[in-house]
Amino acid sequence: MARKYFGTDGIRGRTNEAPMTAATAMKVGQAAGAHFMRGDHRHRVVIGKDTRLSGYMMESALVAGFTSVGMDVVLVGPMPTPAVAMLTRSMRADIGVMISASHNPFYDNGIKLFGPDGYKLSDADEDAIEALLDAEPLLVASDAIGRARRVEDARGRYIHAAKSTFPDKLTLDGLRIVIDCANGAAYQVAPAALWELGAEVIPLGVSPDGININDKCGSTDPAALVAKVVETRADIGIALDGDADRLIVVDDKGNVVDGDQLMALIGVSWARKGLLRGGGIVATVMSNLGLERFLGGHGLALHRAAVGDRYVLEAMRSQGFNVGGEQSGHIILSDHATTGDGLVAALQVLAELVESGRPAHELLRQFDPLPQLLKNVRFKGGAPLEQDGVKQAIAAAEARLNGTGRILIRKSGTEPLIRVMAEGEDEALVAEVVDSICEAVKAAA
């Protein structure tokens, strides 16, 4: 059954346009609240948000929805997505909500839901809530309406939890770290955690104004971070995205380090210390073939999942892995968190940096990636991948690679984009086949 509201990561869209309206948010609160009303205890929901302008509107609408079906609301304000997941579990809440469109521009927003265990909802739960969204809400009597209150120490709770994942015997004393918080949800907690561990912190992207989230900053646009690391001669740079569930690193020479290299570092390190479970790590079909070869050289496996951190996590949980993630920087360390956590992943990288005594440009280059190119083609509607011209272009491109590489074409689950990726031994050939497919998609779209 086609979904009207939920996508690959909750509900997302341009604010004040369907489905991302205040009216929809109130319905989500009513539907999700009704779905999780189980038992006769006083029910509770934790709601966090990032810093985009529409967050206040969506927060108020969700509060109205949840309280109208009898659920109490705990508001924690701007907080990373993993912090909301952690607080949902630690506060024994029935459900958690993060209001964020992650790395998208300010004019988009989204609603991510977590169950009482701190994990993102299953497809079955989302389908059940979807079915309730257009039904008449189950409003409670006036004396059973829920109450809402703000928790002022939520930031401190998350900082403590994040710091507890860093080895007790280590400190960040002597390290100069540039941290780019994308003017997003971690603008207070991430610099504070690094400072409390002893680092000299140089903050970027910590002045949110409602519209500058992810704007020329953060993990999707690290140019400013690169410049600041070089300018200040920092030991390392850390970039988070708008809701701080992904991480990109810049080494001391100004080189950008993606999630594949970070997963390689953490995976091999944990294996060496006897901490790695599953005999390898989980990544997605987008991860570089070089990562797979590198892990194989260390006797470790790479299990590939569909794109999306929820699918990575599903594979981790079902097959017993405790390290997984995406090339884009979603890194899930299930010993410490129930979802991707950019700050926690960064602390694992920093621990390796301290223990090794090596400069970041040496430590973080774990393997030589194969030439890989990803391009996005925006489309207005329809199904361009089903057009004969696109199918013929893909077949021709695969024939040109002739087994020396691979092609991956997929439709984005969060934006109207077709993502075209190829990798192989010949960089020029990779660029040619990607361009040929992109042109075919543009013609079909």
d(CA 77, CA 157): 13
Closest CA relative to residue 44, chosen from 66, 64, 23, 59: 66
> What angle, 0 to 180 degrees and rounded to 10, lies between the N-to-C axes of helices 22-35 and 123-133?
120
Answer whether 33's CB lies under 8 Å from 140's CB: no
| Residue 168 assigned ligand-binding role | no
CA distance 98 to 112: 5
H or E element: which one contains 242? none
- Whether 287 is catalytic is no
Amino acid letter at 31? Answer: A
Residue in this structure with the two tokens 């810093």, named with its chain if needed: 51
DSSP codes joined into one string, 383-395: -GGGSHHHHHHHH
Q: For residue 269, what is the DSSP state?
A: H
Q: ∠ at Cα 266 (264, 271), nearest 5°? A: 95
HSE-CB of 157 using CA atoms within 13 angstroms: 17
Minimal CA–CA distance to 199: which of 78, 21, 343?
343
Q: What are phi and psi of 80, to 5 degrees?
A: -60, 150
CA separation for the pair 123, 202 (Å, rounded):
41
Residue 295 backbone phi and psi in degrees, to 5? -65, -40
What angle do the packed helices 259-272 and 342-356 form, to 10 degrees? 60
Q: Which two tokens stand for residue 192?
A: 């504070």
Is 102 flagged in the annotation as binding? yes
- Asked if 10 and 112 count as a contact pair (C-beta separation under 8 A), the reply is yes
**Of the listed 102, 219, 287, 328, which one is catalytic?**
102
Rg for the chain, CA atoms, rounded: 22
Which residues are catalytic, by number? 102
Residue ranges for the binding site for Mg(2+)?
A: 102, 241, 243, 245
Residue ranges for the binding site?
A: 102, 241, 243, 245
